[in-house]
Structure 1
């Protein structure tokens, strides 16, 4: 068979992931903090972008009516559309319109060294005495001239607190160096990570010397610091309280029995009765297993809801986007027109301006599309979980991404990106959008299926209400759930119970009986 060259015309469809499309997808799954940081970076790079206060947002009734929303906007500035003189300030005025404070910050020395009369405002040494001492720096008649933040005490870390105490317990400079090396081996909870043998080998000292320094460091505040295990941490705190007797020491050495609620074995080992053992357990609960966390420097960030759900007067639900999480980006077209009119169309500056304009338009459209997509997904979740909002977690319906995607005619991956790290504020509390998507559990009577989260809530409620003489086993929980219309296997109940950190029926029975006897005595 002879080979010959030929031409064919074929049609095919393919999805091309442009850089802008990839960034739009990334914008969709960004959190509020990440989105704010991204917009700040764009504002620094693009002179045509600016951000304004967001006064309105999307509001949609549960019946499906929308109000127009604009995640971005285009506007001009009347103050910038005048003559060239008003548009570009005088160079001399710009160069000399500097204050004494900013000039002092620019150079190494302050103006008060050369021109005392032209120095910037000084902070008062004691702002609480400004009313009595008018001659104090910053002590004007109106009380201004100082920054209150300058007098706020800085937050100390665990290392700062320990370094302040070490000179009072260790006088030898060599011991202080060893102590500083041990401080560097502490984790956030205040536990010593390295071993004394490794430290002795690294510093060229004997293990006895390292242990001696370590024992002195374990006397520092907070009590329990420099411990190498949980038992040693609790023992240090009990020793500081003068409660480390032989019975308590034995209990600390057998924490694994305490975790299993094996009170009978603990009573034999400690040689105490039921009431004394419960008193010892109460003392242990008052101790701090992580003494170093009280000096943790990482700031806790509050969760800002992306969607707010309120009850409407007609019995429906009012869904709206949180305006605080929607930065409104504006495109300054007047600035673009003013600058481009002075720039040649063949120059690189003109190309840069056009590129900035395209990027700004893309960003505003992407933010608008992001807001509308979040709104569609949130509104559909509210429609699906109406019973939960009305009656609580017992009525949470099973829901998956496919159901929501088909209802709003989007892809499942889009819904997954929208629900990642997004939060909804409802009359029932603040929930992540992922919370409303749960596994479906079949009904024992052939009715509607149940949500896994609502089933876990039932199990938690049943265990919390059980009596000491009628502790429910996993088989008993299965029978109760089956009578309530939930078909669940025993191993699934055990898995849910362990995920909620609930001990087994044997351990719960021991603990409840011991507490009941102590209450009667």
Structure 2
């Protein structure tokens, strides 16, 4: 049999993600604030895109509203059977006509707040908040006011080694060696830095931090100094040993412990950090007439339209000059603008559909609280909404929901199940954790519940959990063990 080259024609099918589909998938995973930055960048790149407002009319661009998401809200009754839940979710954004070219991304919801009549923005306390100085800037400003020359340079080098909690993060000997100065000189400058506000900064240990604050209050007597030197005994709750070492009675020790608890172990956190950016919810859930209403938050997103006036001017200019490059550029900008508006509408419909199904499945949580949180998986929501599981994962990433009970990430509503011992309904892990926290908060301080006690109580309520699992949940919630809780209770009781 001869071996030789030959040409064959074969037909195969492959799945290829187009660049536009990849961009649409990326938009789906963005939060509203990230999407706002993406839209702002596109407005800079595309001259045909225009940011409209409530006063925009047909002169600037076509006002074609989006069909399937006219209200950007889905309302459903509670309770609802599985068929009604599926129908409620399918009514929102199921029938997007891809042949219809939308030229405006606009939804009306309770989040849309009209501008004032005089053109000024509504007052917000956030407008008065300014960027706070960092701890290093705060200390450097005090150093510049009190020191100069070489002393100021040494002080700034020490301040640079102070962490955000206010502690000196590097041994002073190493700082002195790096600056080529005597250790005594570094000690002198550090003593000056330790007099800066807030009191306690520049300390090298917790005991030194508390001692600085005690000196500032003129409470650093020999008894308090002995107590500060034996903070390990305070942590263990060894009150008898503390009374012997400090040579005080129970009443004086109680006053000293009360004074000790008033000191700040991390004084640096009181300064700096900058403005805290609040979480902006992507969805709102409120109670309607027959149930809950899910709305998209469109207050953070601009209203996009195609600038037909500018398109007409550029098109006429390109036609008169016969420039093929200008016409191609104009056609590309128009196609990108129309695609972006369509992609934003598809994103809104998908998010609203998935969020509506989540609220339907977790209606007990919105009605009664975390104790009624049900086990839920991405697969269940994907099957109910008719989308892929990966789409549900992208929708619930970096998205937040605001309701009467607070602001929650959409991932919060997905949880594994804890099986019931009596054959009852399974509950979510988050509900079990909330029950553990409630039991610990209701315990007697001097008789705390051990993990074995918690296991017995939960088993009586129908939750099959091992002691090791309860300990894992307790540690995840940063709740100390029963021994540590009793020790702290003894110190508080003193």
User: Does the TM-score normalized on the shorter chain lie above 0.5?
Assistant: yes
Alignment partners' CA distance in 2, 1:184 and 1:469: 44
Deviation at 1:248, TM superposition (A): 3.2
Q: Does the aligned pair in 2 maintain the 1:395–1:454 contact within 8 Å?
A: yes
Higher relative contact order (CA 8 A, sep 6+): 2
Q: Secondary structure at the residue paired with 2:299? A: helix
Deviation at 1:257, TM superposition (A): 4.8
Change (3 A) 1:485 1:295: same
Q: Residue 199 of structure 1: which of 160, 170, 175 is its match?
A: 175
1:180 corresponds in structure 2 to 156
Deviation at 1:287, TM superposition (A): 2.1
Change (3 A) 1:268 1:424: farther
2:224 corresponds in structure 1 to 248
Change (3 A) 1:72 1:506: farther
Task: Tell me the alpha carbon deviations over residues 111-157 of structure 1, each in whole angstroms, 9 at most, x when there is no partner.
Answer: xxxxxxxxxxxxxxxxxxxxxxxxxxxxxxxxxxxxxxxx9998554
Q: Residue 366 of structure 2: which of 384, 389, 397 is its match?
A: 389
Alignment partners' CA distance in 2, 1:72 and 1:426: 34
Gaps of 5+ in 2: 56-69, 77-83, 105-127
| In the alignment, structure 1 residue 329 sits paired with structure 2 residue 289 | no
C-alpha RMSD of the superposition: 2.9
Alignment partners' CA distance in 2, 1:459 and 1:41: 48
2:206 corresponds in structure 1 to 230
**Higher mean Cα deviation, 206-215 or 334-343?**
334-343
Q: Secondary structure at the residue paired with 1:300? A: coil
1:74 corresponds in structure 2 to 103
The equivalences for 1:2-401 within 5 A come to: 2-3=2-3, 10-53=10-53, 57-62=71-76, 64=88, 65-66=91-92, 73-74=102-103, 156-166=133-143, 169-170=146-147, 173-261=149-237, 263=239, 266-267=242-243, 269-314=245-290, 316-344=291-319, 346-401=323-378
Alignment partners' CA distance in 2, 1:276 and 1:455: 43
1:470 corresponds in structure 2 to 447
Alignment partners' CA distance in 1, 2:131 and 2:395: 39
TM-score (norm 1): 0.77
Change (3 A) 1:257 1:373: farther
Alignment partners' CA distance in 1, 2:470 and 2:254: 30
Change (3 A) 1:285 1:449: same
Whose radius of gyration is greater, 1 or 2? Answer: 1
Change (3 A) 1:514 1:297: closer
Deviation at 1:361, TM superposition (A): 1.4
Gaps of 5+ in 1: 76-150
Alignment partners' CA distance in 1, 2:8 and 2:221: 92
Deviation at 1:511, TM superposition (A): 3.0
**Higher mean Cα deviation, 206-215 or 153-162?**
153-162
**Higher mean Cα deviation, 181-190 or 418-427?**
181-190
Deviation at 1:205, TM superposition (A): 0.8
Q: Residue 456 of structure 2: which of 451, 465, 479 is its match?
A: 479
Q: Secondary structure at the residue paired with 1:50? A: strand
Q: Does the aligned pair in 1 maintain the 2:46–2:333 contact within 8 Å?
A: yes
**Higher mean Cα deviation, 63-72 or 231-240?**
63-72
Q: Residue 469 of structure 2: which of 492, 495, 519 is its match?
A: 492
Q: Does the aligned pair in 1 maintain the 2:237–2:490 contact within 8 Å?
A: no
Deviation at 1:244, TM superposition (A): 2.6
Q: Secondary structure at the residue paired with 2:357? A: helix
Alignment partners' CA distance in 2, 1:225 and 1:271: 30
**Higher mean Cα deviation, 14-23 or 426-435?**
14-23
Deviation at 1:488, TM superposition (A): 0.6
Q: Does the aligned pair in 2 maintain the 1:471–1:508 contact within 8 Å?
A: yes
Q: Does the aligned pair in 2 maintain the 1:57–1:321 contact within 8 Å?
A: no
Alignment partners' CA distance in 2, 1:421 and 1:153: 26
Deviation at 1:10, TM superposition (A): 4.5
Alignment partners' CA distance in 2, 1:492 and 1:231: 36
Alignment partners' CA distance in 1, 2:53 and 2:236: 57
Q: Secondary structure at the residue paired with 2:50? A: strand
TM-score (norm 2): 0.81
